[in-house]
Amino acid sequence: MRFPTFLKSLLLGVPVGVTLLDCVGYVARVEGVSMQPALNPDASVTDYVFLSRWAVRNMDVQRGDIISLISPKDPSQKIIKRVVALQGDVISTLGYKLPYVTVPEGHCWVEGDHTGNSLDSNTFGPVSLGLVTARATQIVWPPSRWQQLPSFVPKTRVPIAIGKRATTGNSRAANNHNVSNSSGNSSPTLVHPIEEVHRLN
């Protein structure tokens, strides 16, 4: 009798687990230096972050959010970056083909905090919101690094003009422009969920 009971639990548990991973979120390992100092602050530390799929279910992305997205350069790779500008915003670029970009509708502009050491929108341009897979909300490992990940835009990267944006009904502290001490060659930061070991560059 125990074996059939175990099988029943397994058959019920697997779909629930898959649903949680698909709808709620998962833990992923961060690789690379592009998000220093917020993530992987030095070579001796590898951060694991909780990626909330639920937080972006309505494509509710705000300036300053750290997000996981499918790389526009390599669809087989997931990367992790900070949202710097939203649709309608005008952003001054860093080495992009145009000195200023107005972010198109349905897109955002993402950058790594480690300026000059990040493969981001300054290389591939504005990113479709459809490529966003999750928002990084907490560092969950190692224990010495447990913390919430605040949303802010580095002072030197605030858009030079803010576009009008329709509200989504989410009153989350949007559009924060708090100051970061981001420092400024090109390595992506990868994300790996623990079950597949997702990498975030």
Q: 160, exposed or middle or buried, with CB in 10 Å at 0-12, 13-18, 19+?
A: exposed
Residue 100: phi and psi, rounded to 5, are: -135, 145
Q: Does the annotation count 183 as an active-site position?
A: no
Question: Which residue in 68, 71, 78, 81 is the catalytic one?
Answer: 81
Q: Does the annotation count 34 as an active-site position?
A: yes
List Cβ neighbours of 146 (8 Å cut-off, separation of 6 or more).
138, 139, 140
Q: HEC profile for 65-101?
A: CEEEEECCCCCCCEEEEEEEEECCCEEECCCCCCCEE
- Residues annotated as catalytic (active site), given as ranges: 34, 81
